């Protein structure tokens, strides 16, 4: 990647199987256009998205992470998305301390019928992360300064 | 049976691990009967050049405590790895980075600016900083090079056994020493002197439903001695921390700080702790959750207190 213009963000999306993944599916069958930068990972519930998944994605080189679940109250498992809702602000607080911009990790509620919202969120997030530039955590590690004079 | 050849070394550490060895009390005599100590800078007068003169694998067991902070620590880690048959990461700093590993919130420049400039007790108007080499009339003085990032021992050299704890509890040290003497060591790469499950398994407190509407810090309350500390709103790292310590802190009415590191199947202790804390927040709307989360002052320092270098992200971006 030579400059910011040629930078294509890599975003990992954790999509809940019941709502958001269906919303993504609908976006596809409805032929909605959205950037191809988000790699979807289907999970059973947004509550299954352990903070470890987010950190692992970043540590392995993701520039952003998107977590999508059913709207509060609509969880297939009744309360899974409430767990996602409780984790997210605490995770964001920790990530901020790690020096990671809060726009890089986003939580959105997207139902199976909200294909338009899904396409919009992916588009917005891709543009935001593109502006922020590469995160490149996997290349950062230990490269700086471990030298002797 | 020939006596064991033992080396003990400290890198970036406070010295508590050394005291933990001495806390074996009269059993230290049994250690002395079974082993000859060849290097122990904190207690005995040996020189690095003595160690450099040993042939490879001369030492049977090296107990290495402390994280790798500077070029001296790295040099000694590599030297002692070459000279030792068995390398033990002794204590939380060697295993996970420990308290010195929290310096990964800054880099070399950040640490120096703070320590040699900003702290209220510092009077350094000349802006003097440590130099790796300085010439005085008597000759050249040298200091090790201070790195940007603190590493664990295992990130620096291959480690055979990990004995965590800040410091490791005496009975576990003794059990490991006995296992070494008897030659009954587990497969290399294992954690030794630990339990398989979390601190909660060893904690005698009564645990009921956990629903927290407000978190408090240890200096703000005197906790009830019988009830789970998390249920009382204190951040106790027991759920995400490996047992083996005998739940010493919770038995002293203090929350677990997480020094034994993550349990066997967990990669990132802080992430698991964060998840555990979030799951007990008693709120079902975003504003309510935020109100509770706002009371957690320093998630990074609290959940990664002993393991920042060992975590997935390893350090803060500077």
Flag whether B182 is in a domain.
yes
Percent of all residues in chain B with a pLDDT value above 90, rounded to a whole number: 83
Q: Do B94 and B25 lie in a common domain? A: yes
Torsion of the alpha carbons at A76, A79, A82 and A83, rounded to the nearest 10: -100
Whether residue A90 and residue B274 make contact (CB cut-off 8 A), yes or no, is yes
Flag whether B78 is in a domain.
yes
Q: Do B117 and B250 lie in a common domain? A: no
Residue A38 has pLDDT above 90, yes or no: yes
Q: How distant is the alpha carbon of residue B36 from its chain centre?
A: 26
Contacts of A72 in chain B (CB under 8 A): 284-285
Instruction: State whether residue B1 is helix, strand or coil.
Output: coil
Residue carrying structure tokens 């295992």? B154
Percent of all residues in chain A with a pLDDT value above 70, rounded to a whole number: 89
Flag whether B62 is in a domain.
yes
Q: Do B156 and B139 lie in a common domain? A: no
Any A CB within 8 A of B34 CB: no
Q: Do B124 and B153 lie in a common domain? A: no
Would you state the structure tokens that stand for residue A89, as one six-digit string? Answer: 């602000």
From the CA of B75, how many Å to the nearest CA of chain A?
11
Flag whether B316 is in a domain.
no
State the Cα–Cα distance between residues B215 and B235, nearest whole angstrom.
Answer: 7
Contacts of B315 in chain A (CB under 8 A): 141
Identify the domain boundary among B191, B221, B254: B191
Q: Number of folded domains in chain B? A: 3
Those residues whose C-beta lies under 8 Å from the C-beta of residue B297, and which sit 6 or more positions away, are B217
Any A CB within 8 A of B151 CB: yes
Beta-ladder partners of A69: A109
State the Cα–Cα distance between residues B11 and B2, nearest whole angstrom.
Answer: 29
B77 dihedral zone (left: phi>0; alpha: psi -120 to 50; beta): alpha
Q: How confident is the model at residue B237 (pLDDT cuts 50, 70, 90)?
A: very high
DSSP code for A46: G
What does pLDDT average to over chain B? 93
pTM for this structure? 0.92
Those residues whose C-beta lies under 8 Å from the C-beta of residue B230, and which sit 6 or more positions away, are B210, B212, B236, B238, B239, B280
Q: Do B205 and B277 lie in a common domain? A: yes
Residue B28 has pLDDT above 90, yes or no: no
Q: Do B186 and B209 lie in a common domain? A: no
Flag whether B309 is in a domain.
no
State the pLDDT at residue B176: 87
From the CA of B77, how many Å to the nearest CA of chain A?
15
Q: Do B20 and B166 lie in a common domain? A: yes
State the Cα–Cα distance between residues A65 and A67, nearest whole angstrom.
Answer: 7
- Of residues B289, B314, B317, nearest to A85 (C-beta): B289
- Cα end-to-end span (Å), chain B: 54
Whether residue A94 and residue B277 make contact (CB cut-off 8 A), yes or no, is no
Q: Do B139 and B284 lie in a common domain? A: no
Q: Do B206 and B166 lie in a common domain? A: no
DSSP code for A118: H
Instruction: State whether residue B313 is helix, strand or coil.
Output: coil
Flag whether B178 is in a domain.
yes
Whether residue A56 and residue B285 make contact (CB cut-off 8 A), yes or no, is no
Per-residue pLDDT tens over the stretch A66-94: 999 999 999 999 999 999 999 999 999 99
Identify the domain boundary among B129, B158, B191: B191
Q: Do B177 and B59 lie in a common domain? A: yes
Whether residue B271 and residue A52 make contact (CB cut-off 8 A), yes or no, is yes
Picking from B22, B85, B122, B102, the residue whose alpha carbon sits closest to that of residue B270 is: B102
From the CA of A97, how many Å to the nearest CA of chain B?
7
Contacts of B271 in chain A (CB under 8 A): 50-52, 54-55
Per-residue pLDDT tens over the stretch B74-98: 999 999 999 999 999 999 999 999 9
Nearest residue of A to residue B156, measured between CA atoms: A142
Per-residue pLDDT tens over the stretch B120-168: 999 999 999 999 999 999 999 999 999 999 999 999 999 999 999 999 9
Whether residue B278 and residue A149 make contact (CB cut-off 8 A), yes or no, is no
State the Cα–Cα distance between residues B18 and B77, nearest whole angstrom.
Answer: 17
* H helices, E strands: number in chain A: 5, 4
Q: Kindly calculate the radius of gyration of chain A based on its CA atoms and give it in whole angstroms.
A: 16
Q: Are A63 and B279 in contact (CB under 8 A)?
A: no
Q: Do B267 and B235 lie in a common domain? A: yes
State the Cα–Cα distance between residues B43 and B35, nearest whole angstrom.
Answer: 16
Flag whether B311 is in a domain.
no
DSSP code for A3: S
Q: Do B27 and B86 lie in a common domain? A: yes
Identify the domain boundary among B136, B162, B191: B191
| Residue B113 lies in domain | 108-147
Flag whether B308 is in a domain.
no
Those residues whose C-beta lies under 8 Å from the C-beta of residue B269, and which sit 6 or more positions away, are B96, B237, B240, B241, B258, B261, B262, B303, B304, B306, B307, B310, B311
Whether residue A97 and residue B316 make contact (CB cut-off 8 A), yes or no, is yes
- At CB < 8 Å, which residues of chain A contact B? 50-52, 54-56, 58-59, 72, 82-83, 85-87, 89-91, 93-94, 97-100, 137, 140-142, 144-149
State the Cα–Cα distance between residues B163 and B191, nearest whole angstrom.
Answer: 6
Nearest residue of A to residue B275, measured between CA atoms: A87
State the pLDDT at residue A5: 62
Whether residue A97 and residue B281 make contact (CB cut-off 8 A), yes or no, is no
Q: Are B104 and B48 in contact (CB under 8 A)?
A: no
- Of residues B270, B279, B314, nearest to A141 (C-beta): B314
Per-residue pLDDT tens over the stretch B101-126: 999 999 999 999 999 999 999 999 99
């Amino acid at each position: 990647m030579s400059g910011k213009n040629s930078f294509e963000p890599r975003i990992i999306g954790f999509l809940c199987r019941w709502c958001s993944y269906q919303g993504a599916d609908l976006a596809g069958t409805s032929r909605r256009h959205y950037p191809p930068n988000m790699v979807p990972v289907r999970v059973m519930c947004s509550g299954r998205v352990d903070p470890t998944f987010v950190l692992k994605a970043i540590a392995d080189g993701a520039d952003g992470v998107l977590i999508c679940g059913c709207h509060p109250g609509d969880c297939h498992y009744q309360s899974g998305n409430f767990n996602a809702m409780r984790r997210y602000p605490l995770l964001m607080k920790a990530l901020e301390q790690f020096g990671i911009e809060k726009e890089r990790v986003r939580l959105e509620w997207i139902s199976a019928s909200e294909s338009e919202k899904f396409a919009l969120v992916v588009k917005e997030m891709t543009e935001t992360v593109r502006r922020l530039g590469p995160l490149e955590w996997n290349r950062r590690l230990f490269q700086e300064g471990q030298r002797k004079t | 049976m020939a006596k064991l050849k033992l080396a003990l070394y400290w890198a970036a550490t406070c010295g508590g691990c050394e005291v933990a060895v001495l806390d074996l009390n009269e059993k230290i005599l049994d250690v002395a009967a079974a082993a000859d100590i060849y290097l122990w800078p904190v207690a005995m007068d040996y020189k690095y050049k003595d160690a450099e003169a040993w042939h490879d694998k001369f030492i049977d067991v090296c107990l290495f405590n402390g994280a790798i902070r500077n070029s001296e620590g790295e040099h000694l880690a590599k030297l002692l790895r070459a000279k030792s048959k068995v390398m033990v990461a002794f204590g939380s700093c060697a295993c996970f980075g420990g308290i010195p590993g929290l310096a990964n919130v800054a880099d070399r420049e950040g640490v120096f600016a703070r320590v040699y400039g900003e702290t209220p007790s510092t009077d350094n108007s000349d802006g003097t900083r440590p130099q790796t080499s300085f010439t005085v009339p008597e000759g050249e003085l040298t200091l090790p090079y201070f790195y940007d990032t603190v590493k664990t021992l295992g990130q620096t050299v291959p480690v055979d056994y990990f004995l965590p704890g800040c410091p490791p509890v005496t009975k576990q040290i003794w059990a490991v020493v006995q296992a070494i003497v008897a030659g009954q060591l587990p497969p290399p790469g294992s954690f030794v002197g630990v339990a398989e499950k979390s601190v909660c398994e060893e904690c005698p407190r009564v645990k009921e439903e956990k629903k927290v509407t407000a978190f408090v810090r240890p200096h703000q309350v005197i906790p009830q001695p019988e009830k789970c500390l998390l249920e009382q709103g204190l951040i106790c790292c027991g759920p995400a921390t490996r047992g083996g310590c005998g739940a010493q802190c919770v038995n002293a009415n203090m929350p677990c700080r997480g020094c034994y590191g993550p349990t066997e199947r967990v990669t990132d202790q802080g992430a698991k702790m964060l998840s555990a804390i979030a799951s007990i927040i008693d709120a079902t709307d975003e504003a309510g959750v935020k109100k509770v989360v706002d009371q957690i002052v320093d998630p990074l320092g609290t959940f990664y207190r002993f393991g920042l270098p060992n975590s997935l992200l390893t350090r803060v971006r500077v």
